[in-house]
Structure formats: C-alpha cells, structure tokens
Amino acid sequence: VTDNAYIAGLAVPYLVRGCNHFYVRPSGVTGTLEGDPDSFPSTLTLYGYDFKFDYYGLAFVQNSTSPETSFTAGSVITPFPADETFEFDGLSFTCPGGLAEARLPDGGLDKQLRYWSADFDVSTLSFTSTDGCDPSAAAYLTLGATVYSTLLDSPLHGIAGIDPDGELISKDFSDSKGLETTVTSRFRMPNRMQLNGPDEELYDLIAISEGYFNDYGSTAEQTAGDGRLNFAATADVPFFEDLEVQVRTTASQNTNPDASVQLMGGWLDGGESFFTSTFFDASNRAWPDAGISEALYRNESGATGDPSPYLIHARQNWLDVVEFDYPLKWSSSLRSFTAQAPNAPQDLVVVEVSHQLDYLSAENAELSFGVVYQGLPEVNLTNFAFNQLDESSGALEAMVQAFRQDIAGKGEAAVGALEDGVNGINAMLQDQIDAMLEEFYTTTIDPIVDALYNGLDQLDHQTAAANDWITQVEDETQRLIVNYSSAAYDPAGSLTSVRDAIKTLDSTAADAASFINEVDAALEQVQLALRVISDQVYIAADSSVTLEVPAVPDPSNTIQGLLYQDEGDFQIVSSLISALIAELSAEIGGELAGMLGDVLEAPVGELNNLINEQLEAVRPTLEIVQEILAETDSTIADVRAEIAATGDLVKEIEAILDAADGLIDAASVELQVTIKALVLERIPEPSQFVEYSEAEVKALIRQEIEDRIRELEIIPEFQLVLRQHFYDLDLQIKEGIDTAFAQVNEAIKGLLKEFLSDFDDTINGFLGDLGSSLGAGEVTGFAHINEDALRLLRLDAHLQLQVPEDFEFNGYLQIKQLSSDGSDACSYGGSNTAKEVTMGALGVPVAWVSDGMSVDVEGKVVFTTYPVGLGGRIEMVDGEFGFESFTITDLGAAMSFGATENYLAAEVGLAFQSYAMYGGVFFGQTCDIAPLEMVNPQAASVIGNPNPTFSGAYVYGEAHIPVSEALLGIPASCMFKITAGVGAGAFYFVEGPTFGGQMLLAVSGEALCLVSIKGDVSLVGVKVADDFRFSGRGRLSGKVGSCPFCVKFGKTLNLEYKNDRWSFDL
C-alpha cells in the first residue's frame, strides 16, 4: 500500500508495511505505522536542513506521537561552521506534521562544533517553530547542550540553536524570525570563578553574562578553530574597583587553567554595555559593530587604529583627592596588566604630575609618578617577524652583535634560529598549511612528476599515431596517479602513486616526507627559538643550530640565550641594550646622541654598571618570562616525544587519513582524469610534445596535484588538529618573547632617562596660591598598596622655594591614608577616612642663612571632609650659624594643631667659646613619637610609642663647662682642658599616668695635645603605675699620641634599673 507522510509541509510517498494496526477510540487513534525501509527516502531536506532517514515508523497514543515511542531514526546534518551530524533514534511530529522532539541514543551525543573547536555534548534535540499550527512554517534545530571553557572545571549548560546554514542562533535572530520560544545559544556560567594569575595568584571572577560563542557570520576570522567562547565578568584586583572584563577563551573539555585567555573591556552600544544591560550583545558578535578590526578590539600587536574605547580600565577615587583611571593592557603569558600608556598630567592636591600603573595582578599593584619619555627605541617580536628591524635602523645589527660575543657567525645563527622558530609556529597555524607540505611535495610528489614526464617522453613523438599518444597518456597517468597495484600499470611495483603517497602522510617522524615529520621539524625550530631567548643552543659541525649539546662543549660553539644568566648576570640582555643604545641614539636626535657620547665612550665597566642597575628593576619580570618559556619548551619536548612514540597527535592524523581512505581513492581517480585531459588539451598531437619544455610540463602537472591535494577534506582537518594542539602554545611563545623584549625596552628607557632628565628641568609652579612661592620639577614617585588600600603615595621632586630668595632642593610630597580607628596614626572618629598630606625635604641648603648650613623641613595638613589638623617641623641637620657672640649648633622646632594633635616642641644647642649648652621642650598631645625624639633621641627606648597618644610635657637641658678655665683660670686648649657636663630633665604624661626624669653626667680632658679622655653616663627613668625603671648608657673613650699613629681605646656600658634591680652589659 502506498501512502504519503506529510512532514514539514511536504508530501513524502512511501510503501506501508503490512504489520501496521490502529485502534479508534473516543480518546483518539492508537496504533503503529511503519514504512517499508526500502521505500522511504533515505535523504530529505526539511526546513532547509539535510536529513538522513534510516527508518520511518511511528507509534500513536491518542492521536499523538512521542520521542519515546517513535521508530523514526536517522540524523540531521549541519554544514560548517557547526559541521556536525546529530543522530536520533526516535523523531516525533506535531499533529499537523511539523518536527517536534527526538529521542537520542543512550548517553546523548558527544559532538564538536568545528569552527569553534568546541566540545559539545547534546542531551536533547527538538525543533522550535515560528508557527506551531503551520507545519510548513520555518522551524529551527534546538539542542540542549553542555559546553566547556578550557579555563574552568565546571561545565556550562544551556540551549543552543543551529540554523540551516550551520550558524548558531542568537537572540536577535530568534526575535527577527519570531520563534515561539526565544533561543539565545547562551550557557549558564558559575556565579564565581577563578582565573590563574602569576605565580600562585588567583583572580576572583564574578560572572556578569552567560557564556556564548562568537557569531560566525559577522567575523572575518572564519577558519576552523578561530571561534571562541565569550563571557563578561568582574575581576577582583587590589586597591582598584573590580575590573570589568570580557573573557575570550577556548572551549575544550580538556581543562587547562593556564590556557591562553584574552581579556577586553567590552564596548558601548546605545549607551549600554555588558555591565549595565540585562542582555547585551544580542547578536552574539562578541565585538563591536563599529567598523573596526577584531585585532584592534582585542588590542593585538600590530593592529591599526585606536583601541582606547575598548580597553579594560582600572579605576578608583582615592580619598576624594585623586581620581585614578588607567586603561590597561593584558598579558596572557604573564597573567598580569600594565597601563596601555602613561596618564596625562593630573592635579595631586598641590602639584600637577604624570603617573602610570606599572603592574597589576590579582594580589599586587604598582604605581609610579613622574615624567615618562616617549619616542625611545622599541624592539619587539612583531617588528622582528615583519623584518622592520632592518639595517637602516641598526636594531637588527644590534641583535646580531649581542648574540655574537666576538665570535663570527654566532650572532647571525642565533637571530636566524629565532626567525625560523617564529616562522615555524606560524606555518603550523596559518590558514593554508602549504609550507608544512613542501617537503612532501619535494621528496615524494616531484619524483612521481619526473617519472610521469619520462613516461610521456618514451614515445617517438614524430612517428607515433594520435591513438598511441592518447593510450600513453592514459597508461602513465593511471600508473602514477591512481596505481591500484595493477600489474598492467606498475609491474615492478617500484614506484608509488599520488594516491598511495597521500596515504603515507601519517608516516612516523623518521620519514622525511611525512606531514608528521614536518610538524616535528617545525616544533624543533620553535624549541630552538625559545632557547635562543631563555637558555642555550649550540652550533653543530655543519654550522647549523642545534639543541644537542656537543660532545666537547666549547664557548665557540655555544650560543647563550637572551635571558641566560651567567652567575646571575643577564650578559646578552646587557649586550643588546648597549648595542641598541649605540645604534639608535642617533635616531632619537643629535642632542641626545651628544649627551650619550661621554657614557658610550666611557670604560665598558661603567656602562655595564649603569645597564645592570636598570636590569635589576626588570629582573623579576625577566625571570618570570624565562620560567614561562622554559615550561613551554618542556611542553613542546613532551609533544615531540609523543610524536616519536606515536602518541595522540599522530593517532589523530592517522584517524583522519583512515576515515578519508575512500575519498582519497575517489579524488585520485578524478585527478587522473583531470591531468589526462589537461595534457591532451595542451598537447593533442604527439608531435607537439617538443613545443613545451620539460620544466613547463612538470610545473603544469605538479600545480594540478597541489591544487587537488589542497582541496581534500583532510587538509582543513589537519589544520584543526594543529590549532587545537598548538594555538595556546603559539600565544604563550609570542607573548613571552615580546614580554622579554619589552623589558629590554624598559631598561633602555630607564638608562636614557638619566640623561633625558636634562630636557625636563623646568620648575613649574604649584597649584593655586602656592604657585607664587613654591614650584616643582623632575617629579617622580610611587605608591604603597596593601590589598585594597593605598596607604601612602609619595612624590619626590626638585623644589624651588622663595624664603626670601629663590633656592632649590630635592623634596617630597606624601599623601597618606589614616584609618578612622587609629590603627595607622591618630584616630579621627566617624566613618570618614582621614588624609594626611605632608610636604618636606631633607638636607635643604640654606646658604642665605649661613654657608654650609642645611635643614630638614616638613609641613602637613590632615583632613577628612574638612581640615582636622595642621602641623610642621624644621630641624638643622648640618652646619651652624652665629648669633652675636654665640654659635647655634642645634636648632629644631615642631608644632601641630587640630582635633587630635596639639603640641609645641623645640630644641636648641648653643656654643660660647668652650662652653656648650643644649635644651629641649615638648608640651601637648601627640600620636607620634617624632616630636619627643627631637627633644631627646632616647625617649622612644624608655617610654615607647604612643598608644594612641602621649599627653603631657617633656623638658630637658644640659651644659658642658670647661672647669679648668672657670676654676683655675687656664684658657681651654688641647694643651690642658678639663670639661664637666651635667644634664637633667623631667616628663609627665596623662596616659598611665607616666612620669620620670633624665640625668646626664659627663667629664672630658686633654693634655699636651697628645692625650685625651672622656666619659659620660646618661640615664632616663620612667614610672608607669607601680613599674619604675631607669635605662641608660655609660661610655669611656680616649686616645694617646698623634693620629694616625695614636692608640685609641673605648668601652660602653649599658645600664638598666627596674624595680630595685640593676643590670648592666659591657
């Protein structure tokens, strides 16, 4: 019986089997309906999808079918980019004949979306219609699926749709087609995740969006393996607000937390972003539709344009004083961030200064302040790979010189190995892998072409008949293109055919013509390049560069890598920096070249010392890069060992060739027909054979063979395998080498900055009214960051002050965060964080007061939302000045007024002929020991540090009198002098309460200008509650004779008294 199945609006005729039966009841029809297996079409196109049907049969229960009772088995085939076949054991239909759900084989389906190289586990299969009541209305394949992020242990679950073109369905597409159930092809992310940082650090991520694969139709990167999984998240970093990032990563089930990952900052669309919209990027583009390249959006090296709108930003409003906002550059190899560029000058309370973020990771942040010089020499892998470091710039020659180490040929060999390694990894991952097959063409295909030409040349072309020529072409092309081991075509069996040659591409690495060997050779080149950077390579007897250690190692055949350390020194880096500076100084400008001249002409050791100082600053990063590259080298060595042992990579290539055996046979037959037709078209008569040269005929045939091999499905499958195995390694290699070069650039900048500073010696006025009396230039600085708090920001500057005349000195500006609970300093109460701004300088020359005199000076202001404290200090640290008949030898004063600190402190030392006096005083409340140490440097050792304050008074004075002059009337001189000293002081503080005193007894003498002796005892006593103690020191010293032939002696006695007990220590 012939019947029609109405499926998706189509009438499908088939023969009905005789075993069918139906029961008609009030509830509906129940029964089975099965088609003859040979009569139901094996293939159908439904809703634009290609279906393959193995069997057609339905079971009805009350007019309805279900996947569980359906016998309709087969598969639905989706083209590239999905490029997968989804099998089903039972397909059900809607009542009008539309496609409904399907029963899958036990355990579901383990698939892979080819363009995205995404492992894709299917648990449900159904079709979502645009109109369920109309079976002819469009319906789309919808899959309940589990996908994976290579970075995460947790699988991701969701519903994905695939359209008839093999592309994933987005929300925009779903809405535009009017699907009855919205399909977004997005997958639920874990709420909290971790991303590996440098060393053992971990970034804590919070998912903001679901995960999704980038849209194939809107990208120019359409090679298998180019697709990526994307999701938006926030990343916790120290001090700054959580970073807003878009994560782009591979989607393999083989978890690798260290896999390469790209981080971008997202974009704005209609004023919305990932972080403001509940559903952003509804088309699943994963990059902005703004007329820019994807490489620019991802801020990749060499991209053209301005990436600023799409960068990640590190932001923080610090103390309502500084608004930090740094556009960031992410390094996948180092797993850390740096600033994309220095920030423009910004107001920092009183001074305008440039600043930048030097480093940011999961646990650490480093800021620097001051002038950043642009236009200095840059060397990087991109320039190197594209041969932009040519002889005209001198940088390539600098590279050669650095590796040469005064031995001819070594530098050229090292640079050549680095270039070959970069080319090797590029060859494996480029869109066309022709370079990987060149050895196969040369060693295997070319002999076949030679033999084919020789076979065609056997005829006597001047006398042979046309039919003989046709037969000769047929026989030779059959023998050498197809060759099914037929005795008629290859009786000796001595020469392989193109067909058989293709099937040997999976030969072991020992076969020089195999594709596997080319992969192994490329990996060896990559290892050599890595070791040229991070370790050592060697020159073999044939002058090639090798990984093998020579039987007799010798400096002449050993090439030290860029980061190789000889007793802790980066000698090659140092040589490269020296060569680059010498080669490139003229490129920066004649003035700079002149400034560098003296240094470059100085002894080599002096220049090396300067370079080594800069290398110490970048040493941690260089060592991290060295470790990363060494690990990558080890990974590649493991892969090569697996290749030698017929490991996973070889087995995947073998599986591809085994599965394609029939396709290769068919393609060989087609190739034979094509080449036969091509030869007879160009040379229809045997007499015309001589009109073409041997090279022309061979080139024609070889090109046709290459083109046909390139069209084989195995080639893109080979590409996909290589990308899956080596894509992440490629990024690690290139980013690691680029990072190493970047540190070379930083060291050059640091070295040249010492000389470029002369270009920036302008004193700029401070902000506001301060500018009329205070200015700053050559500003540099740093910030101390502890977890999420920036505790201290310090700027060092060359300052100019008018008091009353202009004088210049090196000073500093500090902005300090003070905790409201008093844990860092004074407590200011409330919830507001206090800020302390300090300006000061050490060793300021004040020649306008007295020649040789210098002072330490400091002033500070503390404020929350309003000023809560003001203070300052000044202290003479060098020199002295006269005041009538007195000489002032010591001078200092400090004060503070505000909510928590109110004090006055001063100290003064006077000298009058041989008389000397000193005194100091403190009154008030302080939460810092500094003003008390001005009065007496020993104060902290006895009374400790404020907790949280000291409130009271401290008074001290001492005098030294020449008793030999005062009592005996003998003028004091080195011929005879006896001096006695006495000092006393007292203090009282409310806290405790604490009170005590200080005593000093001293005596000294000189005679005949040959003998001198002096001794003193100084004690400070303190009583806190019932605890009473004295602490002090006694000293005795002297000399006999005239120095340097004198004899010196000395002894110190430390004394301590505590609660009726004395102790001493000599």
Q: What is the pLDDT of residues 10-39, one digit of tens each?
A: 999 999 987 888 888 888 888 888 888 889
pLDDT at 974: 76
CB atoms within 10 A of CB 1046: 13
What is the predicted pLDDT for the residue at 828? 56
Residue 479 CA, distance from chain mean position: 56
The model's confidence at residue 859, banded by pLDDT at 50, 70 and 90, is confident
Q: Residue 940, Cβ neighbours under 10 Å: how many?
A: 13
- Which position has the higher pLDDT, 807 or 987? 987
pLDDT at 572: 80
Mean pLDDT of 562-582: 78
Is the pLDDT higher at 795 or at 678? 678
**Taken in order 680, 684, 686, 688, is the CA torsion positive or negative?**
negative
Contact 816/401 with Cβ under 8 angstroms?
A: no
| Residue 769 binned pLDDT confidence (cut-offs 50, 70, 90) | very low
Arithmetic mean of pLDDT, 658-671: 91
Encode pLDDT of 237-246 as tens digits: 988 999 999 9
More confident residue, 70 or 1050: 70
Dihedrals φ, ψ of 919, to 5°? Answer: -155, 155
The type of residue at 54 is D
Q: Report the percent of the chain where pLDDT is more than 70.
A: 78
What band does 157 get if pLDDT is binned at 50, 70 and 90?
very high
pLDDT of 823 reads 32
Cα separation values, 275 from 3, 108, 266, Å: 57, 35, 9
Could you tell me which residue, 319 or 237, shows the higher pLDDT? 237
Q: Per-residue pLDDT for 215 more than 90?
A: yes
Query: How do residues 436-486 score in pLDDT, each as one tens digit?
Result: 888 888 888 899 999 999 888 887 777 778 888 999 999 999 989 987 544
For the cut 50, the answer to whether the pLDDT of residue 390 exceeds it is no
- Inform me whether the pLDDT recorded for 865 exceeds 70: no
pLDDT value at 372 more than 60: no
What's the confidence (pLDDT) of residue 753?
61
Per-residue pLDDT tens for 953-983? 888 888 877 877 767 777 777 777 888 888 8
Query: What is the spatial order of strands in the sheet that 49-55 belongs to?
Result: 43-46, 49-55, 73-78, 84-88
The pLDDT value recorded for residue 443 is: 86
| 917-937 confidence digits (pLDDT tens) | 888 888 888 887 778 877 777
Chain-wide mean pLDDT for the chain?
80
The edge-to-edge listing of strands for the beta sheet with 21-25 is 21-25, 28-34, 57-60
Asked which of 134-148, 303-317, 931-945 is least confident by mean pLDDT, the reply is 931-945
Return the top range by mean pLDDT from 99-103, 753-757, 863-867: 99-103
Alpha-carbon span 20 to 3, nearest angstrom: 12
pLDDT at 173: 98
Q: Is the pLDDT of residue 273 over 80?
A: yes
User: Who has greater pLDDT, 661 or 319?
Assistant: 661
* Strand bridging mode 867-878 / 881-883: unpaired
- Residue 591: predicted pLDDT: 47
How far apart, in whole angstroms, are the C-alpha atoms of residue 249 and residue 731?
Answer: 12
Amino acid found at 89: D
Q: What is the pLDDT of residue 270?
A: 93
Q: What was the pLDDT predicted at 78?
A: 98
Inform me whether the pLDDT recorded for 777 exceeds 60: no
287, pLDDT greater than 60: yes
DSSP per-residue letters across 640-692: HHHHHTT-HHHHHHHHHHHHTHHHHHHHHHHHHHHHHHHHHHH--SGGGGGGS
> Does 100 score more than 70 pLDDT?
yes
Average pLDDT, integer, range 218-232: 94
Residue recorded with tokens 């139709």: 217
Assess whether pLDDT exceeds 80 at residue 208. yes
φ, ψ dihedrals at 370, nearest 5°: 130, -170
What would the mean pLDDT of 190-196 be, rounded to a whole number? 92
Query: Mean pLDDT over residues 755-761, rounded?
Result: 46
The percent of residues above 90 in pLDDT, for the chain, comes to 28
Mean pLDDT of 110-118: 96
Task: Please tell me the distance from the alpha carbon of residue 22 to that of residue 29, in angstroms, as a whole number.
Answer: 7
Model pLDDT, residue 1020: 76
Indicate the pTM of the whole model: 0.62
**What does the block give as tokens for 98?**
């539309």
Tokens of 683: 């040379």
The residue among 927 and 432 whose pLDDT is bigger is 927
Residue whose pair of structure tokens reads 């020992």 in the numeric block: 510
Q: What is d(CA 1033, CA 848) in angstroms, rounded to the nearest whole number?
A: 39
| pLDDT(409) > 80 | no
- Predicted local confidence at residue 422, as pLDDT: 79
User: pLDDT-based confidence at 235, cuts 50/70/90?
Assistant: very high
Does residue 1021 or residue 350 have the better pLDDT? 1021
The region of weakest confidence among 167-181, 350-364, 856-870, 1040-1054 is 856-870
What average pLDDT does this structure show over 296-311? 92
At residue 345, the pLDDT reads 66
DSSP 465-504: -HHHHHHHHHHHHIIIII--S-TTT-TT--S--HHHHHTT
